[in-house]
Amino acid sequence: MAERNPGTKLELGWISKVYVNRPEVVRHAEQIKKWRTVKGNWQAAWLLKAVTCIDLTTLSGDDTPSSIHRLCFKAKHPIREDLLKALDMHDKGITVGAVCVYPARVTDAVNALKAAGCNIPVASVAAGFPSGQTPLEIKLAEIKLAVQYGAKEIDIVISRTLVLTGQWEGSDFIKTSTGKEVENATFPVGVVMMRAIKEFYWQTGYKVGFKPAGGIRTAKEAITWLMLVKEELGVEWLAPELFRLGASSLLEDIERQIFRHVTGSYPLQHDLAMA
């Protein structure tokens, strides 16, 4: 991860001056959707970059050690080896950015990745996911357990009650949503959050990461998010240390698009391994 955010003195004067021009943000978001999609080798390059920033996620009630093992295998081998060879990228060590699971499944993920001989970090949702409506003592205990089990990153669900009442919390990364809401990652929200990150960087010199999560399912959407990050925050943020895509099914479409780029046709159902 990037250098830890040590926090800063709360300046309510700074925060009170924040103004969001909602119509302009929405207009800008609509323009983003119309951006011309890159093609050919450029598209493949953007998609491989997206792969390295994915938090490959499973947050299902029926997760088991075997399903976590399959997920971790896919995390280490996100794109078929022959496809990477065709792109001359087979020796670049391309993996996803992290594997994200519930605290109870962290040990399974850590063991599976260790057995696979890779150092992909395990992230875990904690602190009362997804509502955050859990007593502080239980949140802290859940975080401590996830870390003891081997999690290197924690997606903490903040108390939105505190935020809505002006009691702000700090972070090393900020995330659009839990992915469990009716509406999750949207471009207008992303623009506002990224400009807040940029303002914080100007004020303090510390870089805060950004993670859109929930509802990102297509390769085109992934590329648009990357382009938006590049435009708003710069190339420095286009790295897993500062940018993640929270997704469970996105990788499938990215691999489909790379397969089509290499072979000229879309894969049949049996052509690509399932996570």
**Is 3's pLDDT higher than 80?**
no
Percent of the chain with pLDDT over 90: 56
Q: Which residues pair with 126 in a beta bridge?
A: 156
- Residue numbers annotated as active site: 155, 175, 211
Residue 112 predicted with pLDDT over 70 = yes
Average pLDDT on 7-22 reads 78
274 pLDDT exceeds 90?
A: no
- Give residue-wise pLDDT tens across range 39-63: 889 999 999 999 999 999 999 889 9
Among 229, 228, 253, which Cα is nearest to 241's? Answer: 229
Q: Phi-psi category of 232—alpha, beta or left, where left has phi over 0 and alpha has psi -120 to 50?
A: alpha
Q: Averaged over 64-83, what is the pLDDT?
A: 94
Q: pLDDT tens-digit profile of 114-136? A: 999 999 999 999 888 888 888 88
pLDDT per residue as tens digits for the range 153-208: 999 888 888 878 877 777 899 888 776 766 778 889 999 999 999 998 988 889 99
Token pair recorded at residue 196: 């807040």
- Among 91, 58, 92, 60, residue whose Cα is nearest residue 74: 58
Span 74-94, average pLDDT: 93
Q: What is the pLDDT of residue 111?
A: 97
Q: Does 130 sit behind a cis peptide bond, omega within 30 degrees of 0 on the bond before it? A: yes
**Of the candidates 232, 237, 162, the residue with the CA atom closest to the CA atom of residue 206:** 237
Sign of CA dihedral 268, 269, 270, 272: positive
Higher pLDDT, 223 or 30: 223
Please tell me the pTM assigned to this model. Answer: 0.90
Phi first, then psi: give them for residue 123, nearest 5 degrees: -105, 150
Task: Give start and end residues of each alpha helix (H) in the chain.
Answer: 12-16, 22-33, 40-52, 65-76, 81-86, 106-115, 136-149, 160-164, 187-204, 219-232, 250-263
In whole angstroms, what separates CA 180 from the centre of its chain?
Answer: 14
Q: How far apart are CA 238 and CA 242, in angstroms?
A: 7
